[in-house]
Structure formats: C-alpha cells, structure tokens
Copies of this chain bind each other. A is one copy, B any other.
Amino acid sequence: MRNLKITLAYDGSEFHGWQIQPGLATVQGALAAAIARVTGEAVLPQGSGRTDAGVHALAQVASCGIQSPIPAPNLALALNDVLPASVRVLSVEEPGPEFHARKSARAKSYRYRIHRGAICPPFLARYVYHHPFPLDEDAMGAAAGAILGEHDFTSFAAVDPEKGRDDEPASNLRTIFRSVWERQQDELIYMVRGTGFLHHMVRNLVGTFLLVGKGSLAPDDVRRILRACNRSTAGPTVPAQGLFLVSVEY
C-alpha cells in the first residue's frame, strides 16, 4: 500500500463543501471518483479539514492509501484529466506511511477577501465579500492582533455536528501565529495562520472584526469576547465565498 499526499486547489462555488454527501457535488466526492476512475480503487481521501459550501482552497491537502503502481507525477496528470476544471491537483507526493492529512497538520493559513469598491466586478463576485460601506481599517487591524497566541476560541466556534463523532481534538484551544488585515487595491484581506481552526472560526472572527470596523465594538472587546467562551458574544458569520484555505503545513 502506498500512502499519497495530494495537494489540490478548488473553486468552492461549485461544491457543497469538502465532505462527501450522497447525491451532492462535493470536493471529496469528486476526488474519490477521479481516483476510482484512474486506478479502479475505491478509496476515500481524508482532507486536512472540511471546508464549507462556497469556501475555496488554494492548497488543500488530502491523504489516502492506494495499491496502483502509477507513478505520482503521472497520477497528478491523470487525475486532472478526469476532474472538473473547478478542482485541480497541484501535486501528488509519497510522504511515507505515517503521514495523515489531518492528524499530521501543524499549521494552517486562511485568507478572507473583502471587496471595498463601490462596484464589485462580476468576475470577483464568487471570490470576495462585497462591503463598500465605511470601515475603520486601523481598528480592525488592532482587533485582529488581539487574538494572537493561545486562546480558547469557543466564542468564535459554531456548534460542530461532527464533534465527538471522530477523533477531532475535544479542546477549543488553538494558537494563532499571524492575524493581520492587508490592503491590496480595492480589497481588504484578512490573513490568519494558526495551529488549527474550529468550525466557522475564521468567518466568525471576520464578522466580529467587521463590527469593530463599523464602530459597534472596540478592538479591546475581542479580548472580552474570547474570555466569555460564549458564541453569542461574538459577531455574525460572514458569507463563505470570501474564504480561502491558503496552505496546510506539516
């Protein structure tokens, strides 16, 4: 049995999220179908984590065991031949038998794109959250900095229906290494890197930072919300389409 590490990019607009679901287009389902078509083997590739419907990935990672002797680079080409254009295999590697896309992950990076222009170009509509209204971007930067380090992120976590059903860590403690807002022309982009992220955590953080940007909360309120360990103290969940899984580190 060979253990594969598959790195892939996808446009989440065309999928009901990562996780396989009967009768629905999912990224995991599309990848499993492509592997079956290329190798004849029925395997379920495990992702580094689930992404929700509409969330994109620049470099999601999945692992699975296969028997096929097809060399890894050829496998990448063959998978791209049968996958829809909305999913692209960027590489197939063989990292050894111990590698597991989720359990071996040490850090993840996400990006959330907000379009600040008066008119959102139609070509970006699926990839950004359009918010042309006034925002105090400096205050949002200060709020983002307040989550650096190790914290219990219960206040920013959706109740996860999968929790306890698999081997996900039961704790809501996560460490954030980077948390900044950057301006790139008409876009205001949140960039975050941490040991892991709870369900909806990035979208709930962005929703809270937007409340700071609008003046409804002060940057320091983020610390109070963290301490409360109560979802109802934080801001709303922003739309999925602005969110990108940027990379997974091992």
Q: Is the CB of B90 within 8 A of A122?
A: no
Q: How far is the CA of A218 from the CA of B88 in the complex (A)?
A: 35
Residues of B within 8 A of A122 (CB): 9-11, 56, 85-88
Interface membership of A121, Cβ < 8 A: yes
Q: How far is the CA of A195 from the CA of B120 in the complex (A)?
A: 30
CB distance from A58 to the nearest CB of B (A): 8
CB distance from A53 to the nearest CB of B (A): 15
Residues of B within 8 A of A89 (CB): 119
Interface extent on A, as a size class?
10 to 19
Q: Is the CB of B86 within 8 A of A119?
A: no
**Contact of A125 with B90 at beta-carbon distance under 8 Å, contacts A80-B119, A119-B80 already known:** no
Q: Which residue of B lies closest to A130 (CB)?
A: B85
Q: Please tell me which one of the listed residues B11, B123, B125, B130 contacts residue A125 in the complex, with CB atoms under 8 A apart.
A: B11
Residues of B within 8 A of A125 (CB): 11, 85-86
Interface membership of A112, Cβ < 8 A: no
Residues of B within 8 A of A127 (CB): 123
Residues of B within 8 A of A86 (CB): 122, 125
Q: Please tell me which one of the listed residues B9, B10, B87, B121 contacts residue A9 in the complex, with CB atoms under 8 A apart.
A: B121
Among A9, A86, A119: residue with most chain B CB under 10 A: A119
CB distance from A105 to the nearest CB of B (A): 22
For residues 4 through 19 of chain A, which have their beta carbon under 8 Å from a beta carbon of chain B? 9-11
What would be 14 A-B contacts, judged by CB atoms less than 8 Å apart? A9-B121, A9-B122, A11-B125, A56-B123, A80-B119, A85-B120, A85-B125, A85-B130, A86-B125, A87-B122, A88-B120, A88-B121, A88-B122, A90-B119
- Seed contacts A10-B122, A11-B123, A87-B122; 4 additional CB < 8 Å A-B pairs: A11-B122, A11-B125, A85-B122, A88-B120
